[in-house]
């Protein structure tokens, strides 16, 4: 560190030089700026010479390269440690937990909205919803000719769960009339809504597979259905049941009869999900057969299994849909 | 004369109580201040008394009429000191709430609250996140604001202290009636007043009549010497005029009758008080720098915020989303912890200084002391002890120095010296109180103190009881007393006084055991000695005696002091005693060290030039006897430019005979040169300079109340050497503050960039605003403050004071934003991506996911492994990732703290000896754990109880930081790559 000389320490020559050094003419702000950008005298660009700039560039190149390499090495190492087919953390040890969420299609275009709204007599207004659904269901229309994914498909039944590594087929035609060819019945003011259960790796539902001990909160019609099913075929009870109903008494009146297709729930043979090639989530088409027009109807759909918890406020185990047909 | 009178009347108008010119109170205050800065310009002490009476409309015999007095009182106001108009408390509070980063934080809080209100009005159950965040931001702002408010707000007690110097009652002549109990505040110009011994003079008065009247003007000159005042012609400078006595001076002898020239604020003391109370000290270098830096940061933050806001508005984001962007950017850009850290560091240093007998009243003064380039020191009481001491004795052609080791031998053997001792003990009005304390005049005290070392003046006095005396007066300039020699039953006449006066009355001179007659040669020798000693700043007293013939003056001879019937001529000359106010012991070495540290020391004193020069040479302020001396009179005639040039031309300057206002001018001239000025002083007269200086230093023991009240630093033991410690501590704390600021700023980078990533790449937000506050005001705080406990890396006293070395330099910014900060950011992002990947979201999946991710209505966001996540699950994952990012920042910051311990040396060389810092690191870790694991706390701060393995993700990056920085410091130490690192990153 050099000690700054005070004036009294300077020699007379130094003082002379100090007082009579070449004075530069004062520059305007614009000139100063121009001088800063490119100084022809010192050949400096932005206050530095080319050599200085290239040194800086070299240094930062090396430094950032080293940093990038470190990040890449760390990332690569850690990702290598992970299994590409299954998550590192599953079920309860993962944050995703064991409570699959219920979702619906078509999704409204507005952010954070769950309102399906259209005019029954205006094809333009429901075209959006049909397109939305077609897009969503595209992957369900498997091309039989196409190889690859098709090989995995297994025609499952309640008595015939898929073997390991195979996936169950989802039959698009079983949703009729909620099919694309029919415009998902939107034009008749009887819209279809598709419900889906979130995929959680290795999650197995615990079914309500007996008509006894059904929870009191379960709607009567579902209880009735389960009782009927018990009488019909016990295999059909291995199902994650679904119920949809109006949220308020008024909604319950407005909603009209509801049809669930192909079953009243998600068949058990689709579970557990284990990231199989070509796996498709089971869907339930909810067909509102006679919704009251010109009214906003709040619908709450709920999935039923012993290990699906329900909290209306948090929206756990259920989904909230608003629909309005004019 | 007319112009003078008009300027006089205009300044007196300014101080009238009912705001004469209709100015706003702040303007009035500043106008008053600029009026006070001018020297007193008057001729009321020069014109004949008769003219003065006419001018003031008074009469020396009857005084003012009560009616006229009342009129004047109503017009000019009371004879008191007017306190300045200050910012009121709420105004000041508001100001401290809206300075620096506060405005931006308020902006953030308002955005948060309005976002919450919008949500409240549109949604049935809005999330309270924004409400909480807004409240937290407001709390941060309030706490910081109140913090700085208490630091800034010091109730001004200066005026109160001044007012306590004023007496309550005085004797005043009005309507021809003498009233002994006139209230001092009722005095007006033209009043005739009487003062006697023990009184404090109630206004500036011109003496009409006096007898033996002496005043102690120490409040104006700083010299504790009783000076005589009587009715003679005045000198041009009213402060030195012998016919004027000033407000607050103490009458130590005699009595006087005088006419009041000035009252209240217009008196000499009133001006000093007005200046001291009204002057605003220049902002300290540190606060200037912090303010500049804060302005830079705020502008950056605001510009970035506005850019982001407009961009996102143009891109069509809703208000809610935009406000989240802006809040994130603003909060991340501001180093909220900076101000508290600096305050805490300075407070700790101040506490440490107290143990070294240095009381710091204004925290920033410590750092300013380190940056100080000039010290203007008062002489009396600061450099010297303000206590007269005998230094030299001259008898018959020989000068003895008291400090000489053989002096005691001389004293034993020499008969002449014995006579001198007796004379010194007898011819004195000082009295010895029982416990050995001596009361009386400063020089007599000094002589008695000196005699106590060699003989017992008390027994001498018993042997020679005093018969009569003629006290000292300014006309005679000597003092005579006659004592009875109880052994021989003869009378002894002793005399003391100014050398020339005594010498002319002597015919013989004591030489060993006999007396020889006085010759011209001897007289010449005496005069030379007197001159020599006077040149070294000593005050000389001459002594003479005469044994009265017992025949001529038998016992019980009626001595008459009015018309002396005893010889006052033809005496025997005994010798001279040189008295001096000696410099304090440690001053010389302290000044040497201060000068070695590149700090210029100047003397600014109210004392005589010769004395000032002598002391300056003795203490090392001046190294050559020909040092430049500027007297107050010269200073009066100097233009500001000339003063500026003089300061630039001469390195060693002594200012003598300066008035309080001139002291202030000198300080301001030094500050104009760009210097950081420290003023040391102890008297009332130093108050304005102390106040204006960057660092005002007062003496704790000898200092007056006023000087202590105005000072920033008080030396409790009056030890000048403490200033050296102060400079050292100041420089150390500045170096350490650099480290603290560097440490704090580095965590800014991993706070800003996630928000940019969030906006640019649409990934889920890697670091929440709450967590940013957690880092800035939580985990970073203790380690940042603990850096102030680091030892100095180099010898701080070996370098000159910093002039162009800012707290936050470009090099530091480069190092922080382009190097170390980026490593921390990489560590954080890496940890974030790993946690995401472990849950199924691979990095490739994350880019562009935000739209779906932050949409409450989307219940199924698919990850790379086909799992579908509901909104609540996603948000929980986001919290976990943010917590991991937070932990990565904490871990790298811990390493960073170790890195910041040194700027130059290797860590291996310095070691981890700073236990405060070590505990700070542990505290940081514990705090991070608490934030993550305590239920409730983690929901509030949006963190997540992390798995143990996630704590270690940042370690490779911490190692990289360490290696990089050690390498950098290695290069700096060895000047490698042509000093490239030194130029580029050595902050």
Give the separation between CA A275 and CA B709, rounded to whole angstroms.
79
Nearest Cβ partner for B857 among A70, A114, A201: A114
CB contact at 8 A, B44 and B241 = no
pLDDT band of B130, cuts 50, 70, 90:
confident
The Cβ-side half-sphere exposure at B4, using a 13 Å CA radius, reads: 10
A3-14 mean pLDDT? 57
Report whether A184 contacts A133 (CB < 8 A): yes
Which residue does chain A place closest to B652, by CA atoms?
A8
Range with the lowest mean pLDDT among A194-203, B378-387, B441-450, B471-480?
B471-480
What is the ipTM score, two decimals? 0.90
**pLDDT at B2 (0 to 100):** 38
- A301-315, B90-104, B831-845, range with the lowest pLDDT: B90-104
pLDDT exceeds 70 at position B791:
yes
The answer to whether the beta carbons of residues B717 and B701 sit under 8 Å apart is yes
Task: Please give the interface size between A and B, counted as residue pairs whose CB atoms are below 8 Å apart.
Answer: 131
- Which one is predicted more confidently, A153 or A306? A306
DSSP state string for A140-202: GS--TT--SHHHHEE--BTTBPPPTT-EE---GGGGTTSSGGGGGGTTTT--EEEEEEPP-BT
Buried b (16+ CB within 10 A) or exposed e, B262-275: bbbbbbbbbbbbbb
At A242 the pLDDT is 93
Q: How confident is the model at residue A149 (pLDDT cuts 50, 70, 90)?
A: low
Residue B960 to residue A70, Cβ atoms within 8 A: yes
- Mean pLDDT value of segment B341-352: 88
Of chain B, the percentage scoring pLDDT greater than 90 comes to 20
The 10 Å Cβ neighbour count of residue B979 is 13
Per DSSP, the three-state class of B177 is: strand
pLDDT recorded at residue A76: 92
Say how far apart CA B647 and CA B670 lie, in whole Å.
Answer: 7
Say which of B125, B865, B877 has its CB closest to residue A86: B865
B800 contacts A87? CB cut-off 8 A: no
Q: Can you tell me the distance from the alpha carbon of A183 to that of A192, in angstroms, rounded to the nearest whole number?
A: 9
Mean pLDDT of B702-711: 85
What's the rounded Cα separation, in Å, for the pair B885 and A231? 56
- Give B181 or B933, the one with higher predicted confidence: B933
Residue B840 has pLDDT above 80, yes or no: yes
pLDDT at B8: 47
Q: How far is A314 from chain B (nearest CA, A)?
A: 8
Lowest pLDDT segment from B269-273, B369-373, B878-882:
B269-273
Beta bridge partners of A246: A299
- Once rounded to an integer, what is the mean pLDDT over residues B438-448? 80
Catalytic residues of B: 378
Mean pLDDT across the stretch B786-802?
87
pLDDT exceeding 70 applies to what percent of chain B?
95
Contacts of A318 in chain B (CB under 8 A): none
Give the confidence band of B985 by pLDDT, cuts at 50, 70, 90: confident
Q: Which residues pair with B22 in a beta bridge?
A: none
Do the chains contact at A71 and B826, CB–CB below 8 Å? yes
Give me the mean pLDDT over the B649-658 stretch. Answer: 88
User: Contacts of residue A315 in chain B, CB cutoff 8 Å?
Assistant: 859, 870-872
CB B646 within 8 A of CB B342: no
> Which chain A positions have a beta carbon within 8 Å of B855's beta carbon?
111-112
Summarize pLDDT for B114-123 with one digit per residue, the tens. 888 888 888 7
For B455-465, write each residue's pLDDT tens digit. Answer: 777 888 888 88
Test the A interface: residue of B832, B839, B845, B865 with most A CBs within 10 Å: B865
Per-residue pLDDT at B413: 67
Q: How far apart are CA B786 and CA B894, in angstroms?
A: 12
Give SS3 for B695.
Answer: strand
CA distance to partner chain A, nearest, from residue B805 (Å): 12
Instruction: Kindly tell me if the per-residue pLDDT of B915 is higher than 70.
Output: yes
**pLDDT tens readout for residues A182-201:** 888 888 888 899 999 999 99
Residue A258 near residue A244, CB atoms below 8 Å = yes
Q: Do A95 and B855 touch (CB under 8 A)?
A: no
Mean pLDDT for B112-138 is 85
Alpha carbons B432 and B425: distance in angstroms, whole number: 11
**How confident is the model at residue B901, as a pLDDT?**
92
How many Cα atoms within 13 Å fall on the side-chain side of residue B3? 0
Report the residue of chain B nearest A111, measured CA to CA.
Answer: B855
Cβ-defined contact of B867 to A96 (cutoff 8 Å): yes
Quick check: B435 pLDDT over 70? no
> Does position B312 have pLDDT exceeding 60, yes or no?
yes
Give exposure, A82-105, as e/b (b: 16+ Cβ within 10 Å).
Answer: beeeebbbbeeebbbbbbbbbbbb
Distances from the Cα of B782 to the Cα of A168, B191, B342, B702, angstroms = 60, 64, 11, 39
Among B597, B799, B870, most A C-beta atoms within 10 A, so best to mutate, is B870
Indicate whether B898 pLDDT > 90.
yes
Q: CA nearest B735: which of B793, B659, B666?
A: B793
Nearest to B833 among A75, A94, A103 (CB): A75
Mean pLDDT confidence for B951-964 = 94
Distance CA B598, CA B375 (A): 11
Length of chain A: 326
State the pLDDT at residue B783: 93
Between CA B91 and CA B102 the distance in angstroms is: 16
Which of A49, A80, A95 would you mutate first to test chain B, the one with the most B CBs within 10 A?
A95
Residue range B496-546, pLDDT digits in tens = 888 888 888 888 888 777 778 888 888 888 888 888 888 877 888 888 888
Contact between chains at A96 and B857 (C-beta distance less than 8 A) = no
Q: Which of these ranges, B97-111, B217-231, B339-353, B733-747, has the smallest mean pLDDT?
A: B217-231
**What is the pTM (predicted TM-score) of this model?**
0.84
Instruction: Kindly report the average pLDDT of chain B as a whole number.
Output: 85
Distance from C-alpha of B143 to C-alpha of B102, rounded to nearest angstrom:
10
Alpha helices (H) in B513-586, listed in sequence order: 520-535
Q: Quote the pLDDT of residue A19.
A: 63
Averaged pLDDT, B952-964: 93
Give the pLDDT score at A74: 92
Listed in sequence order, the DSSP H helices in B356-495 are 364-371, 407-413, 415-426, 442-452, 457-463
- Which run of H or of E encompasses A266? strand A265-267
In the predicted structure, residue A151 carries a pLDDT above the cut 80: no
Per-residue CA distances from B774 to A179, B144, B788, B883 (Å): 53, 15, 21, 11
Q: Do the chains contact at B840 and A87, CB–CB below 8 Å?
A: yes
At residue A298, the 3 state secondary structure works out as strand
Q: Residue B826 and residue A70: Cβ atoms within 8 Å? A: yes
CA B553-B558-B564 angle, to 5 degrees, is 85
Q: Name every chain A residue with its beta carbon within 8 A of the beta carbon of B834.
A: 75, 78
Alpha-carbon gap: A254 to the closest alpha carbon of chain B (Å): 23
Alpha-carbon distance A93 to nearest alpha carbon in chain B (angstroms) = 10
Between vectors from CA A71 to CA A69 and to CA A72, what angle results, nearest 5°? 60
User: What pLDDT does residue A21 have?
Assistant: 64
pLDDT at B5: 39
User: Do B980 and A55 lie within an 8 Å CB cutoff?
Assistant: yes
Q: What mean pLDDT is predicted for residues A11-32?
A: 70
pLDDT score recorded for residue B753: 93
Over range B780-785, report the average pLDDT: 91
Q: Say yes or no to pLDDT of B756 above 90.
A: no
B391 CB contacts (<8 Å, ≥6 apart)? B401, B402, B403, B538, B578, B579, B580, B582
* Cα distance between residue B484 and residue B688, in whole Å: 53
Listed ranges A32-36, A132-136, B892-896; the one with the highest mean pLDDT:
B892-896
> Do the Cβ atoms of B839 and A4 come within 8 Å?
no
Q: Is A41 strand, coil or helix?
A: coil
Highest-confidence range of B139-148, B409-418, B747-756, B848-857, by mean pLDDT? B747-756
> Lowest-pLDDT range, B302-311, B555-564, B952-961?
B555-564
Mind listing the pLDDT tens digit for each residue in B576-611? 888 888 888 888 999 999 999 999 999 998 888 888
CB count within 10 Å of CB A29 equals 7
């Amino acid at each position: 560190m050099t000690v700054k000389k005070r004036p009294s320490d300077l020699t007379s020559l130094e003082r002379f030089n100090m007082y009579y050094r070449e004075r530069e003419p004062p520059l305007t702000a614009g000139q100063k700026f121009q001088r800063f950008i490119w100084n022809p005298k010192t050949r400096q660009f932005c206050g530095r010479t080319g050599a200085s700039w290239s040194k800086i560039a070299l240094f930062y190149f090396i430094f950032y390269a080293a940093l990038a390499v470190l990040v890449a090495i760390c990332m690569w190492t850690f990702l290598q440690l992970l299994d590409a087919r299954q998550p590192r953390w599953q079920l309860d040890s993962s944050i995703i937990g064991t409570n699959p969420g219920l979702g619906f299609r078509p999704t409204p275009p507005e952010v954070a909205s769950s309102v399906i709204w259209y005019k029954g007599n205006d094809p333009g207004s429901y075209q959006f919803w049909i397109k939305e659904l077609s897009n969503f269901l595209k992957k369900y229309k498997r091309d039989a000719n196409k190889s690859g994914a098709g090989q995995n498909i297994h025609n499952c039944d309640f008595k015939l769960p898929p073997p390991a590594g195979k996936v169950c087929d989802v039959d698009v035609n079983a949703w009729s009339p909620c099919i694309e060819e029919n415009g998902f019945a939107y034009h008749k003011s009887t819209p279809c809504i598709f419900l889906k259960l979130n995929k959680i790796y290795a999650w197995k539902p615990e079914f309500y597979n007996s008509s006894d001990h059904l929870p009191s909160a379960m709607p009567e019609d579902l209880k009735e259905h389960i009782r009927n099913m018990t009488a019909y075929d016990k295999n059909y009870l291995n199902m994650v049941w679904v119920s949809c109903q109006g949220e308020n008494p008024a909604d319950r009146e407005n909603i009209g009869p509801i049809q669930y297709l192909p079953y009243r729930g998600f068949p058990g043979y689709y579970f557990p999900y284990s990231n199989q090639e070509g796996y498709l989530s089971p869907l339930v088409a909810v067909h509102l057969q006679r919704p009251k027009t010109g009214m906003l109807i709040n619908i709450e759909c709920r999935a039923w299994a012993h290990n699906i918890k329900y909290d209306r406020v948090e929206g756990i185990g259920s989904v909230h849909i608003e629909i309005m047909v004019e | 004369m007319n112009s003078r009178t008009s300027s006089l009347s205009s300044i007196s108008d300014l101080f009238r109580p009912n705001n004469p010119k209709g100015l706003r109170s702040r303007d009035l205050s500043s106008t008053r201040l600029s009026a006070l800065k001018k020297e007193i310009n008057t001729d009321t002490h020069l014109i004949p008394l008769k003219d003065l009476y006419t001018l003031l409309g008074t009469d020396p015999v009857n005084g003012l009429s009560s009616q006229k007095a009342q009129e004047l009182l109503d017009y000019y106001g009371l004879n008191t000191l007017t306190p300045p108009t200050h910012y009121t408390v709420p105004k000041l509070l508001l100001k401290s709430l809206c300075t620096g980063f506060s405005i931006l934080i308020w902006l953030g809080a308002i955005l948060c609250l309005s976002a919450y209100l919008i949500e409240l009005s549109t949604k049935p159950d809005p999330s309270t996140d924004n409400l909480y965040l807004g409240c937290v931001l407001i709390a941060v702002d309030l706490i910081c604001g109140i913090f700085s408010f208490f630091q800034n707000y010091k109730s001004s007690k200066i005026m109160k202290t001044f007012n306590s110097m004023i007496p309550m009652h005085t004797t005043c002549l009005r309507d021809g009636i003498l009233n002994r109990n006139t209230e001092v505040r009722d005095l007006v110009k033209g009043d005739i007043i009487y003062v006697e011994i023990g009184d404090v003079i109630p206004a500036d008065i011109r003496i009409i009549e006096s007898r033996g009247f002496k005043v102690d003007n120490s409040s104006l000159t700083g010299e504790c010497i009783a000076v005589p005042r009587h009715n003679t012609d005045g000198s041009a400078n009213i402060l030195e005029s012998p016919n004027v006595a000033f407000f607050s001076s103490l009458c130590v002898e005699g009595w006087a009758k005088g006419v009041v020239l000035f009252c209240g604020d217009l008196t000499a003391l009133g001006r000093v008080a007005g200046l001291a109370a009204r002057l605003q000290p220049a902002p300290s270098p540190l606060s200037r720098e912090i303010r500049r830096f804060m302005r830079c940061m705020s502008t950056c933050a605001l510009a970035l915020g506005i850019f982001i806001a407009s961009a996102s508005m143009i891109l069509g984001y809703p208000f809610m989303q935009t406000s989240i962007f802006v809040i994130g950017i603003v909060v991340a850009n501001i180093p909220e912890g900076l101000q508290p850290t600096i305050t805490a560091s300075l407070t700790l240093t101040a506490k440490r200084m107290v143990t070294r007998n240095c009381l710091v009243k204004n925290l920033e003064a410590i750092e300013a002391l380190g940056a100080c380039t000039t010290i203007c020191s008062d002489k009396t009481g600061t450099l010297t002890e303000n206590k007269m001491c005998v230094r030299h004795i001259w008898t018959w052609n020989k000068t003895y120095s008291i400090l000489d080791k053989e002096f005691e031998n001389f004293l034993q053997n020499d008969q002449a010296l014995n006579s001198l001792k007796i004379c010194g003990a007898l011819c004195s009005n000082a009295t010895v109180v029982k416990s050995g304390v001596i009361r009386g005049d400063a020089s007599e005290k000094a002589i008695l103190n000196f005699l106590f070392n060699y003989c017992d003046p008390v027994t001498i006095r018993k042997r020679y009881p005093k018969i009569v005396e003629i006290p000292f007066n300014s006309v005679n300039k000597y003092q005579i007393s006659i004592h009875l020699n109880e052994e021989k039953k003869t009378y002894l006449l002793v005399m003391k006084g100014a050398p020339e006066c005594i010498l002319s009355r002597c015919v013989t001179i004591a030489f060993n055991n006999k007396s020889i007659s006085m010759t011209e040669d001897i007289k010449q020798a005496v005069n030379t000695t007197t001159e020599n000693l006077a040149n070294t700043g000593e005050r000389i007293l001459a002594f003479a005696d005469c044994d009265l013939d017992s025949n001529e003056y038998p016992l019980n001879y009626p001595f008459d002091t009015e018309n002396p019937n005893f010889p006052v001529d033809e005496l025997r000359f005994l010798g001279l005693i040189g008295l001096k106010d000696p410099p304090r012991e440690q001053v010389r070495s302290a000044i040497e060290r201060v000068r070695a540290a590149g700090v210029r020391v100047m003397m600014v004193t109210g004392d005589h030039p010769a004395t000032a020069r002598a002391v300056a040479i003795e203490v090392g302020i001046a190294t050559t006897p020909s040092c430049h001396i500027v007297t107050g009179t010269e200073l009066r005639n100097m233009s500001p430019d000339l003063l500026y040039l003089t300061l630039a031309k001469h390195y060693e300057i002594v200012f003598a005979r300066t008035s309080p206002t001139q002291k202030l001018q000198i300080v301001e001239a030094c500050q104009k040169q760009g210097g950081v000025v420290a003023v040391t002083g102890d008297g009332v007269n130093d108050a304005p300079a102390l106040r204006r200086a960057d660092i005002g230093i007062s003496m704790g023991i000898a200092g007056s109340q006023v000087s202590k009240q105005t000072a920033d630093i008080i030396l409790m033991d009056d030890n000048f050497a403490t200033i050296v410690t102060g400079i050292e501590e100041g420089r150390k704390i500045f170096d350490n503050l650099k480290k603290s600021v560097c440490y704090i700023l580095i965590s800014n980078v991993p706070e800003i960039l996630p928000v940019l990533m969030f906006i640019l790449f649409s990934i889920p937000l890697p670091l929440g605003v709450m967590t940013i506050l957690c880092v800035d005001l939580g985990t970073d705080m203790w380690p940042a403050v603990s850096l102030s406990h680091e030892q100095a890396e180099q010898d701080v006293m070996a370098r000159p004071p910093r002039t162009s070395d800012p707290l936050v330099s470009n090099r530091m910014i480069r190092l922080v934003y382009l190097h170390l900060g980026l490593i921390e950011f990489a560590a954080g992002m890496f940890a974030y991506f790993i946690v995401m990947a472990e849950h199924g979201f691979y990095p490739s999946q994350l880019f562009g996911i935000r739209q779906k991710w932050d949409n409450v209505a989307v219940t199924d966001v698919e990850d790379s492994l086909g799992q579908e996540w509901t909104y609540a699950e996603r948000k929980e994952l986001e919290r976990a990732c943010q917590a991991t990012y937070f932990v990565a920042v904490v871990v790298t910051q811990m390493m960073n703290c170790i890195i910041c311990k040194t700027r130059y040396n290797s860590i291996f060389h310095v070691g981890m000896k700073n236990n405060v810092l070590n505990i700070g690191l542990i505290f940081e870790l514990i705090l991070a754990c608490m934030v993550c694991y305590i239920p409730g706390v983690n929901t509030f701060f949006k963190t997540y109880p992390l798995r143990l393995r996630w704590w270690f993700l940042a370690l490779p990056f911490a190692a990289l930081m360490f290696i990089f920085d050690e390498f950098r410091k290695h290069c700096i130490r060895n000047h490698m790559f042509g000093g490239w690192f030194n130029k580029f990153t050595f902050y």
